[in-house]
Amino acid sequence: MRRIRVGFIGAGGIAGLHASKLSTIPEVEVVSVADVVYDKARSFSEKYGGKPYNDWREMYKSEKLDAVWICIPPYAHTDEVEEAAERGIHVFIEKPIALTLEKAEDMRRAVEESGVISWVGYHFRQAYSIRRCKSILSESGPVGVVLGRWWGGIVGDPKHWWWRRELSGGQIVEQATHIFDLARFLVGDVSRVYTELTKSMLTDIPDLTIEDAAATVLRFKNGAIGVITNTCGANPQAHKVEMDIVARRAHIEIRGTKKATIYRIDGVEDITSLNDPYLDEDLKFIKAIKGEGESEVPISEGVKTLKLTLAALEAYEKTLPIKID
Ligand SMILES: NC(=O)c1ccc[n+]([C@@H]2O[C@H](COP(=O)([O-])OP(=O)(O)OC[C@H]3O[C@@H](n4cnc5c(N)ncnc54)[C@H](O)[C@@H]3O)[C@@H](O)[C@H]2O)c1
Decide whether any atom of ligand 1 lies within 6 Å of the 176 Cβ. Answer: no
- For residue 77, give Cα distances in angstroms to 14, 142, 167, 266, 315: 16, 38, 11, 50, 25
User: Which element (helix H / strand E) includes 310?
Assistant: helix 299-318
Give me the numbers of helices (H) and strands (E) for the chain, helices first please: 11, 15
Q: Which atom of ligand 1 is nearest to the CA of 75?
A: 28
pLDDT tier for residue 265 given thresholds of 50, 70 and 90: very high
Decide whether any atom of ligand 1 lies within 6 Å of the 169 Cβ. Answer: no
- For residue 163, give Cα distances in angstroms to 180, 210, 231, 232, 315: 20, 6, 13, 10, 22
Q: Report domain extents, the chain.
A: 4-121+279-296, 124-275+306-323
Decide whether any atom of ligand 1 lies within 6 Å of the 36 Cβ. Answer: yes
- Does residue 189 surpass a pLDDT of 90? yes
Average pLDDT of 47-52?
98
Q: Render pLDDT for 113-134 as a digit per residue (tens, 0 to 9).
A: 999 999 999 999 999 999 999 9
In one-letter notation, the amino acid at residue 192 is R
Decide whether any atom of ligand 1 lies within 6 Å of the 124 Cβ. Answer: no
Q: Render pLDDT for 271-322 as a digit per residue (tens, 0 to 9).
A: 999 999 999 999 999 999 999 999 999 999 999 999 999 999 999 999 999 9
- Does residue 2 surpass a pLDDT of 80? yes
What pLDDT is attached to residue 299? 98
How many angstroms separate the alpha carbon of residue 261 from the centre of ligand 1?
33
Angle at 296 (CA atoms; ends 25, 109), nearest 5 degrees: 110
Which of 8, 9, 14, 77 is the pocket-test mutation for ligand 1 (most atoms within 8 Å of CB)?
A: 14
How many angstroms separate the alpha carbon of residue 56 from the centre of ligand 1?
14
How many angstroms separate the alpha carbon of residue 176 from the centre of ligand 1?
16
- Residue 58: CB partners within 8 Å, gap ≥ 6? 34
What pLDDT is attached to residue 49? 96
What pLDDT is attached to residue 173? 98
Fold of 124-275+306-323: Dihydrodipicolinate Reductase; domain 2 (3.30.360)
Decide whether any atom of ligand 1 lies within 6 Å of the 123 Cβ. Answer: yes
Whether the full predicted model's pTM is greater than 0.85, yes or no, is yes
Q: Render pLDDT for 53-100 as a digit per residue (tens, 0 to 9).
A: 999 999 999 999 999 999 999 999 999 999 999 999 999 999 999 999
- Does residue 1 surpass a pLDDT of 90? no
Separation CA 30–CA 79 (nearest Å):
22
Class of domain 4-121+279-296: alpha beta
Please give the sequence-ordered ranges of beta strands (E in DSSP) within 122-235, or none if there are none. Answer: 143-151, 190-198, 213-220, 225-231
- For residue 294, give Cα distances in angstroms to 66, 117, 240, 242, 290: 16, 8, 32, 28, 10
Residue whose CA lies nearest to ligand 1 atom number 36 = 10
